[in-house]
Amino acid sequence: MNILITGASGFIGGFIVEKALEEGLKVFAAVRKTSNLKYLKDPRINFIEIDFSNCEKLAEQLKTFKEKNGSLDYVIHNAGVTKVLSDKDYNKVNFEYSKNLVEAIINSGHKLTKFVFISSLAASGPGQHNTDTPISLLDPPMPVTEYGRSKLKTEEYLKGLTNFPYVIMRPPAVFGPRDADMFSFFKLISNKLEVYIGDNLQYLSFIYVKDLASAVIRATTSQVQQKTYFISDNQKYTNVIFSERIKFLMDKKTFVIKLPMFLVNIVAFLSENAGKLTKKPSPLNIDKINELKCSNWLCDASSFYTDTDFKAQYSLDKGIEETIKWYKNEKWL
């Protein structure tokens, strides 16, 4: 079975590629000329360079692919951006490029069994403030960031297609080896610092990257179609619990710092504008602050477990422990 995985060189994409190979699928990893292929060394991987910006050229490329390799059976669309220099780039990359890919697949004659779109909990938006009531799929989406709105726009586009075999997956915070974004939490605690933003306790869902990759492949090869799912380990956590478990497993004592929101707003503003000058998007920006202000990012993933008989293999502690070990082995810590 031919499977195309976009965003294959990224943190999550690399693990999806590994799981697809483990399941015996013929993997075509979509990459760019500038992609870092450090973690894509398996000789079974077939690479394909794709330009999502031109739908017509992309359709021709996929038509040629079909003539040479046969039809694509599965597509996992994981490519996207989480930080940008300009907010309009969220819409361009996360929506317009996704739309181009789908139209190119249809126009080039591929008869897909499944198209899995890796969206985000951000597309749903937060749950009820200052409660631990998980966000439900029945709750109307109310994203608070441009990133979330761009993901939701693609979701709505997919749902508007006729007889298109999509599945939408909305992961929450993802952590694990190779991740540079969540690494900042581990690095601070390694340096004996524990930093919180504002006074609000945040309720959070998590999923370990290997469990997410397994869930994505399970969704891809399952019978489910035209459905949206949250996907987490289906447990309840807080930002304090996450820090406490990292501290415990690192055997660290920390100095706690609580940053007032007004100060974080200033830092985000300066960081965002510094990124524009250096042409390097900052992970801390005004858009991100809108998420940090929200207290409830718990989601209910039970429907995915029920529909696919999926079982997460990693507890929070097991995932953190494996992540710390990788960071240390790679000299990140």
The CATH number of whichever domain residue 56 belongs to comes to: 3.40.50.720
Q: In the prediction, which pLDDT does 206 show?
A: 98
Query: Mutual orientation of helices 97-107 and 146-159 as an angle, nearest 10°?
Result: 20
**pLDDT score of 280:** 85
* Domain limits for position 30: 2-175+205-235+298-313
Identify residue 229 by its one-letter amino acid code. Y
- Residue 140 pLDDT: 96
Residue 282 confidence (pLDDT) = 81
- Count the neighbouring beta carbons within 10 Å of the beta carbon of residue 52: 21
Over residues 18-40, the mean pLDDT reads 95
Identify the pLDDT of residue 288. 85
Mean pLDDT, rounded, for 123-143: 95
Alpha helices in 116-201 (DSSP H): 146-159, 183-190
Rounded CA Rg of the chain: 20
Q: What's the mean per-residue pLDDT of the chain?
A: 95
Q: Examine residue 258 and state whether it is found in any structural domain, yes or no.
A: no
Rounded-to-integer distance, Cα 72 and Cα 218, Å: 17
The model's pTM is 0.96
Specify the pLDDT at position 275.
83
| CA-closest candidate to residue 165, choices 117, 230, 93 | 117
> DSSP H helical segments within 191-285, as ranges?
209-221, 239-250, 261-278
Q: What is the pLDDT of residue 165?
A: 97
Q: Let me know if residue 254 belongs to a domain.
A: no
Residue 277: the pLDDT is 85
Q: Domain for residue 247, yes or no?
A: no
Strand pairing class (203-204; 237-238): antiparallel
In a domain, 284, yes or no: no
Q: What is the pLDDT of residue 147?
A: 96
**Per-residue pLDDT, 286:** 82
Helices vs. strands in the chain: H and E counts, helices first: 12, 14
Q: What's the order of all strands across the beta sheet hosting 237-238?
A: 237-238, 203-204, 296-297
Domain count for the chain, please give it.
1
Is 93 among the domain residues?
yes
- Which amino acid type is present at position 327? Y
- Alpha carbon distance 211, 10 (integer Å): 16
Measured in residues, the chain has a length of 333
What pLDDT digit, counting tens, does each position of 149-188 carry?
999 999 999 999 999 999 999 999 999 999 999 999 999 9
Report d(CA 332, CA 326) in Å as an integer.
8
In a domain, 112, yes or no: yes
- Write out pLDDT tens, residues 52-111: 999 999 999 999 999 999 999 999 999 999 999 888 999 999 999 999 999 999 999 999
Assign 125 a pLDDT band (cuts: 50, 70, 90): very high
Over residues 209-234, mean pLDDT? 98
pLDDT of residue 283: 80
| Other C-beta atoms lying within 10 Å of the C-beta of residue 81 | 16
Q: Give the model's confidence band at 261: pLDDT under 50 very low, under 70 low, under 90 confident, else very high.
A: confident
In which band, very low, low, confident or very high, does the pLDDT at 267 lie, cut at 50, 70 and 90?
Answer: confident
Q: Tell me if 199 is assigned to some domain.
A: no
Closest CA to 145 of 309, 303, 294, 316: 294
Q: Indicate whether 7 belongs to any domain.
A: yes
Note whether 281 and 84 are within 8 A (CB): yes
- Residue 112: C-alpha distances to residues 92, 119, 225 (Å): 24, 19, 11
